[in-house]
Chains A and B, each alone.
Chain A
Amino acid sequence: MMTSKSGFNTLVRSSPYIMMALLVIPVMGGLIAVVLPAFGWFPVLGQTQFSVDGFVDLWHTPGIGYMALLSVSTSFISTVLAFIITILILGSYFTSPWLSYIQRLLGPILVIPHAAAAIAIGFLITPSGMLSRLVSPWLSGWDAPPDWLYPHDAMGLSIIVGLTLKELPFLLLMALGVLAQPELGHTLRAQHRVALSLGYCPMTAFFKVVLPSLYPFLRLPILAVLAYASASVEIPLILGPNSPPTLAVAIMQWFHDVDLSLRIKASAGAIVQIILTLLLLLSWWRLEKLIKILSQTMLINGKREYAGAIMQNITHVITVVMISTIGLALIGMMLWSVAGFWHFPDVLPQQFVGLHWQSALQQMHTPLIDTVLIGVCATSLAIILTLFTLEAEQHTSKKVSRLSSVIIYLPLLIPSIAFLFGLVWLFEQINSHHSFINVVLAHLLFVLPYVFLSLSGSYRRLDPRFSAVAASLGASDAKIFWKIKLPMLLAPILIACALGLAISFSQYLPTLLAGGGRINTITTEAVSLANGGSRRTSAVYALVQMFLPALGFLLAWALTGLYQKSSLDHTNKEAHANTLN
C-alpha cells in the first residue's frame, strides 16, 4: 500500500517534467538540426563552413517577397475572419437554442482533416465544380466549364476561404468549451442577463459584458490557429496559387527537391518562416492591446445599442451561407465517391456505382489499422501525461508556470515545417528502425497540446471540496485521483480522447517524415491519392478520413451517456435499498 502510494506520488511529481521534455527536446532538437544547415553546415554535401549563402539564395529567389506576403496575408485575414465570425455567432445566438444546433453542425468540421476539407472546397469553387454546375447552363449559359482562376487565385482568396472554414469551428468549440465550464459559464450568463435587464441589446451585452471575460481564454487557441495558418501546407497546396506559392509550400518543395543543395535554402526558408510566424503572433498581441485601449471608453459609455439588429441579420446570412457551403461540399464529396462518369454541366452523375468504395476498401485495411493504432497510442500517452501533470499541479497547488504553459503550445506555435525535417534527422541518430514508435512520438507532439488544452479547464475547475472531504475521511491522493476525480471527469476525458484521436488521424507531414514512408495512414494515402488523377478515389478516402474521427466523438458521447445512466441507476438502486432498509 505504502509503495503504491509513493509510487503514484513519484509518478505524478515527475509527469510535468516528462511532458516538458517530450515537447521541448524534439522541437528544439529539430530546430537546431535545421538552423545548422541554414547557416551552411551540411556535411553530406561537403559543406562544413558556416555561411549565410542559404539566406542570400533565398533572397534571390524570384517572388520570395510575394511568397512571404501571401503566407502572412492569408493567415492573418483568415484568422481575423474566423475570430469575428466566431464572436458574431456567439453574440447573436448567446441566449438562443440555435447555438447548440450550430455547434452540432460545425463540430464535425473540426475533425475533418485539412486535406479533405481543401479537396471538398476545391470541388465546390472549381470551374467544373458544384456551384458552377448548379447555375449551368440555364443561368450562366456555360456548356463547358468557364476558364476562371478559382481556386489557385494569385491573391490567395481560396486559401482564405479554406482556412477560415477550418479555423472557425475550432475557435467556436473552444469558446463554447469555456462557456460550458459551470462556474464561469454561469457567471457570464448571469451577467449577460443583468445587462439585458438594464436595457442593453443582446449583441451589445455580449460584446460589453461577456467578451472581455471570454477573450483571455481564447487567446492561446487563436494564436495557435494563426501560427498554424501561417505555415500550413495542405490547404495552400490544394487551393493556393503556385506561381509563386506560399512560403511554407515552397520550403517543403525545396526540401523535397532532387537538387540536394536546395536543402540549405530550404533550411534558411524555415528560419524565415519561424520569424514570420513570430512576427504575426507579436502583431496580433500588439493589436489586441491597441483594441483594448481603444475600446476602454466604449465599454463603459453606457450606450445600449450599436445596430444590433443589422449585425444579427448579417450573422444569420453568414451562418446560413457557411453551413450551406459546408453541406454542399460534403454532398459533392459523397456524390463523387459513388459517381460513374459525371459530365459537365450535369448536377448529378449519369450513373451511380459502388466500384470506387469497393476497390478502395480492398486496399485500405492495413492503413486503417495503422491509423487507429497510432491514434490510440499517441492519445493514451497524451491523456495519461496530461492527467498526471494536472494532478501534480494540484499537489503543489500552483498553476503550471507561465513558461511551461507556453511550452505546451510550442509544437503549435512553431511551424512544424521548420522543425520536422530536423526531427527526422534526430530520430535517425537515435532509433531509425522503429518507425512506428517514431510516428507515435511525432503525433504526440501535436496531440498533447490539444488534449491538455481540452482537459485542463475541467480539471482545474473541479470543485476542490470533493477532494477535501475525501482526504478528511482518510483517502490517499491516489485513491482520490482514481476513485473521485477521474469518474467525475469522465465526460471531458472522453472528449479529450476523441479530440486527440482526431488530431492524430489528420497528421500528414509528421506521419510521412517520422515514418519514413513505411507507415501509411488513411491521411497519407488520401493526400498521395489527392495528388493522383481520380476525384472519385480521393472522395472515398476523404470521407473515410472524416468518418473515423466522427466515430471517436460519437463513441465519447455515447459512453458518457451510458456511464451517467448507469451511475444514475446505481444511485437510484442504492436510494431504493436505503428506503427499504
Chain B
Amino acid sequence: MTCYVVFKLIWTGLLGVLLSLVGLMVGMDMGVGTLLRWVGRNNEERREALNIIGPHWEGNQVWFVLGGGAVFAAFPTLYGTSFSVFYIVMILLLFSMILRPVAFDYRSKVNSATWRDWWDWAFFISGFVPMFIFGAAMGNVLEGVGYHFLWDGQYIQDENFLSYLFNPFAILCGLMSVALGIQGGGAILMIHGIQPIYGRARAAAVPAGIIAAILFVIGGFWVSRINGFHMINKVDMSMPANPLYGQEVGRGVGDLLLNFHHFPILWALPAMALFGMLGSSLMLRANKPLVAWWLGVFTWLGTIGTVGAALFPFLMPSTTAPNQSLSAWNATGSEYGLICMALVAAIFVPTIFCYTAWSYWVTRGKVTPKTVAEDSHSY
C-alpha cells in the first residue's frame, strides 16, 4: 500500500468520525431546539433549557463547520458535486441553520411573549430541519445520486431535487436522525436540568431512542432490497483523484451488504449503533443521563460507521454513470494536502477535545431559574 492510499483511508475514516461528532454534538443541540417548545411550558422553563446548551452550542456547531471544511479540503470534488447536486436541500438546510445563532442571541433581548414565541419556533425549525436533512442526505447517498462528469472535471446533474427530497428511504433516514437528536438533546437536558424540564425531556428521549432503533432495523432490511453498487474490476487504490479513471462499477440488489458478507466483523458496527440507542434509552429511563449521553458516542460512531461500511469504497455513488461514482480512491485531495492536514489535525483535534472538556467542566452543575436570573449574559 502506498503512502497515498494510507492517507486516503485515514481521511475516509476521519470523515466518518467527523460526521459522527457532528451527529453527537450538533445533534444534541438540535434535539434541544426541537424539544424546546415542549419541555418548557413558559418563558422561565424555556430559558432554563436554552441556557443548558447556551455556553456550548457555538463550539459544538464548529464540528459542522469543520465537517464542511474537511470535505472541501480532503475531498474537493465530492464537496463541489454533493453540495451542488443537493442544491435546494442544502439551501433549505442553510436557511434553517442560520436561524439558530440569531435565535439564541436575540430571543431574550426583548421582553415580549410574541417576540419569544417567534424565536421558539425558529429553534424548532433550526433543530428539526437540519437533523432531518442530515439523515436524509445519508439515505440519498446510500441509494446513489444522479450525476456525471465532463472531461475537465465539470459535473452535470442528471436528476431533479424532488427525487431526493421526497423519497421514502431518505425520509426514514431523516426521521431516524431526528429521533437520535432528540435522544441526545433529552440526555443533556436531563444532565443539567431540574424538574419539570427533567421529566419532560425524559418522557421524550426514552421513546425517541427506541423509535430510532426500530427505524434503524427497518432501514437495515430495506437496504438489502435496494440497488447497491460494487466494483467490477480490481481497482488501483492509488489512482489519481479523477472520477473518469479506470473504475468499473456494477449495480445489484443487496450490494450494500456485500462488505458485511465479506467481513462479518463489520456487523459489529450496526450492533454498536443498536447497543448505543437502546442502552441510552435504558439509562435515561434509569435516570442515569450522563451514562446515556456517553452511550451516544456508540450510537453515532455505529450509525455513521454502518453507512460507511455499506458504501465503502464509495463515498457518493452515481446512479446514472456508475463508473464515475466518487469513491475513497478517486475523490480525495492530493497526497501532499492530505498529509499536511493530517498533521494539523493530529495537533489540534486533541487540543480541541481538551479545552472543550474544560469548558464543560467549568459550566458543570444544574441550570436553575436562580442561575439563569443571576447571569446577566444568559440567553
Asked if A and B bind, the verdict is: no
By a beta-carbon cutoff of 8 Å, the part of chain B in contact with chain A is: none
By a beta-carbon cutoff of 8 Å, the part of chain A in contact with chain B is: none
